[in-house]
């Protein structure tokens, strides 16, 4: 089993809902498939332009098609209780930093701050964690705000940090 499928299955087994970008491709598509296979509740939020490119996951518990990427992120953040980043690319990086910023500013509707977890079983996020530590040392990030981002090296640790 892949990291994505194990993570999705673990979410479902723990009885937690997955809120994600709504695609059927890539790592998050695999997480969604595994969560669904495990009987989990999976909510996808996808912008119309991606849904029209036929990348929408049509077998989800709930699929919301929204106008654009900004609305997508706002809806995902509204529905999520926390954020867990698996290894990814530019879109993942952007979503991680926006989640951190929203938590820092208390913009999340429920609870003011929501956990942001970098799920890192193989060291993918280590350079980013070191960079965040360097930003604290340089005085650009307050040490209290550095604690908004937590590192997890196992699925159990990730679920625990998310409050699952």
Q: Where are the beta strands (DSSP E) in 3-114?
A: 18-20, 42-47, 62-66, 83-85
Across 117-146, average pLDDT: 96
pTM equals 0.89
- For the sheet containing 62-66, what is the strand order? 18-20, 42-47, 62-66
Across 154-158, average pLDDT: 95
Across 4-32, average pLDDT: 95
Domains of the chain in sequence order: 1-80 (3.40.50.450), 82-164 (3.40.50.450)
Alpha carbon distance 32, 63 (integer Å): 12
**CA atoms within 13 Å, Cβ hemisphere of 81:** 9
- Banded model confidence at residue 112, pLDDT cuts 50, 70, 90: low
**pLDDT score for 108:** 59
**pLDDT score for 16:** 92
């Amino acid at each position: 089993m892949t990291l994505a499928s194990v993570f999705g299955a673990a979410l479902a087994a723990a009885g937690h809902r997955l809120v994600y970008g709504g695609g059927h491709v890539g790592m998050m598509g695999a997480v969604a498939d595994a969560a669904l296979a495990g009987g989990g509740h999976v909510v996808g939020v996808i912008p119309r332009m991606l849904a029209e490119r036929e990348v929408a996951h049509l077998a989800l518990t709930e699929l919301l098609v929204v106008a654009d990427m900004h609305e997508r992120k706002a809806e995902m953040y509204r529905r999520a209780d926390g954020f867990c980043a698996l290894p990814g690319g530019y879109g993942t990086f952007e979503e991680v930093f926006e989640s951190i910023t929203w938590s820092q500013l208390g913009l999340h509707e429920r609870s003011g701050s929501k956990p942001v977890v970098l799920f890192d079983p193989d060291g993918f996020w280590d350079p980013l964690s070191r960079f965040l530590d360097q930003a604290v040392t340089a005085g650009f990030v307050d040490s209290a705000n550095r604690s908004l981002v937590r590192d997890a090296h196992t699925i159990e640790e990730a679920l625990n940090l998310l409050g699952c």
